[in-house]
């Protein structure tokens, strides 16, 4: 009996052969690379990844799909399936001997942003990430300063990764078809930080605070967080708004410390 997509898991299964082929070519999996697939669903790209790399770890929350996938690749020595919630999963536990993981997934729209933030915490052991996401989310991820779509997500990702929007994917590529367009995106964590972030937790708080009221100036949104003198020392006008600052600018502000 075919598996029926479940709304509570945000399931939309990829089925278009042309899109699948384009995705595999973009990932370009190689032999003996350590691939990890989040939410393999019914295995539309799983078989291609496994064939190319020879091994694959898959993380699936839906227990019915866990049984389906387990039966399908029960005899494959390179396939390892984890019945787990990706939001709580320790990805770095899979990286052995200093190897780097390649993460792939068709991420449910309802958990995409928190899952991206969770993966940032594991960035030290990741080579790259390739995801299908809501197109609007990908546009926010890749947006630059001054763009209307530029915001907290853009800054937090770009402080840690290079973000490349690769190509759009129409609703018809999925079953059931979602009501929104999707896109395929590549994230490559920096091996060496492009600029220093002394306290990542403080950096995240400063970014969140600055974007909490987008229309207000930094003088107002960061009052009590960053002194105006520190802003000026970073070459930032206190009258500027959050959307005008790069990730490097935010790092400078956070490194300057909080005001008393």
Domain ranges of the chain: 7-189, 200-255
Report residue 259's pLDDT band, with 50, 70 and 90 as the boundaries: low
Q: What is the CA radius of gyration of the chain?
A: 20
**Which residue's entry shows tokens 């449910």?**
108
Report pLDDT for 158: 97
Which H or E run contains 130? Answer: strand 126-134
Report pLDDT for 5: 43
Residue 96 Cα distances to 28, 91, 99, 148, angstroms: 22, 11, 6, 41
Please, where are the H alpha helices in the chain? Answer: 17-27, 46-53, 63-72, 112-120, 135-142, 152-158, 200-211, 218-221, 228-233, 247-255
Report residue 66's pLDDT band, with 50, 70 and 90 as the boundaries: very high
Give the relative orientation of helices 247-255 and 200-211 as an angle to the nearest 10 degrees: 120
Q: Which of 60-64, 158-162, 168-172 has the highest mean pLDDT?
A: 158-162
Rounded to whole angstroms, how far apart are CA atoms 226 and 101?
37
Report pLDDT for 174: 86
Rounded mean pLDDT, 75-101: 94
Report pLDDT for 231: 95
Span 7-189 CATH architecture: 3-Layer(aba) Sandwich (3.40)
- Read off the tokens for 226: 């960053």
pLDDT at 260 over 90: no
Report residue 258's pLDDT band, with 50, 70 and 90 as the boundaries: low
pLDDT at 60 over 60: yes
Which residues lie closer than 8 Å to 25 by C-beta, 6 or more apart?
Answer: none
Cα angle value 48/50/54 (rounded, 5°) = 135
Rounded to whole angstroms, how far apart are CA atoms 128 and 184?
13
Q: Which of 34-38, 58-62, 103-107 has the highest mean pLDDT?
A: 34-38
pLDDT at 1 over 50: no
Give me the phi and psi of 131, to 5 degrees please. -135, 145
Report residue 200's pLDDT band, with 50, 70 and 90 as the boundaries: very high
Rounded to whole angstroms, how far apart are CA atoms 66 and 83?
6
**What does the pLDDT look like over 210-231, one tens digit per residue?**
999 888 999 999 999 999 999 9
**What does the pLDDT look like over 162-192, one tens digit per residue?**
999 999 999 998 877 778 899 999 999 999 9
Report pLDDT for 124: 93
Q: What is the CATH number of domain 200-255?
A: 1.10.8.100
pLDDT at 70 over 60: yes
The pTM score is: 0.90
- Read off the tokens for 255: 């490194």
Rounded mean pLDDT, 55-82: 92
Hey, is 69 helix, strand or coil? helix
């Amino acid at each position: 009996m075919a598996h029926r997509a479940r709304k509570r898991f945000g399931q939309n299964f990829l089925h278009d052969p042309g899109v699948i082929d384009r995705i595999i070519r973009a990932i370009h999996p190689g032999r003996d690379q350590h691939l990890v697939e989040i939410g393999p669903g019914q295995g539309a790209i799983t078989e291609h990844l496994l064939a190319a790399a020879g091994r694959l770890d898959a993380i699936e929350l839906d227990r019915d799909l866990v049984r389906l996938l387990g039966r399908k690749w029960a005899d494959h020595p390179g396939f390892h399936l984890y019945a787990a919630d990706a939001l709580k999963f320790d990805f770095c536990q899979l990286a052995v001997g200093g190897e780097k993981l390649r993460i792939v997934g068709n991420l449910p729209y309802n958990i995409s942003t928190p899952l991206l933030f969770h993966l940032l915490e594991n960035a030290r052991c990741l080579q790259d990430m390739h995801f299908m996401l809501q197109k609007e989310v990908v546009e926010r991820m890749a947006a630059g300063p001054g763009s209307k779509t530029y915001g907290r997500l853009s800054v937090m990702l770009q402080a840690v990764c290079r973000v490349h929007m690769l190509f759009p994917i129409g609703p018809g590529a999925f079953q059931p078809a979602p009501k929104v367009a999707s896109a395929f995106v590549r994230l490559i964590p920096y091996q060496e930080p492009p600029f220093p972030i002394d306290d990542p937790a403080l950096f995240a708080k400063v970014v969140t605070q600055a974007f909490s009221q987008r229309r207000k100036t930094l003088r107002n949104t960061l009052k009590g967080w960053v002194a105006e003198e520190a802003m000026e020392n970073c070459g930032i006008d206190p009258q500027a708004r959050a959307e005008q600052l790069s990730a490097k600018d935010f790092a400078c502000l956070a490194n300057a410390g909080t005001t008393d």
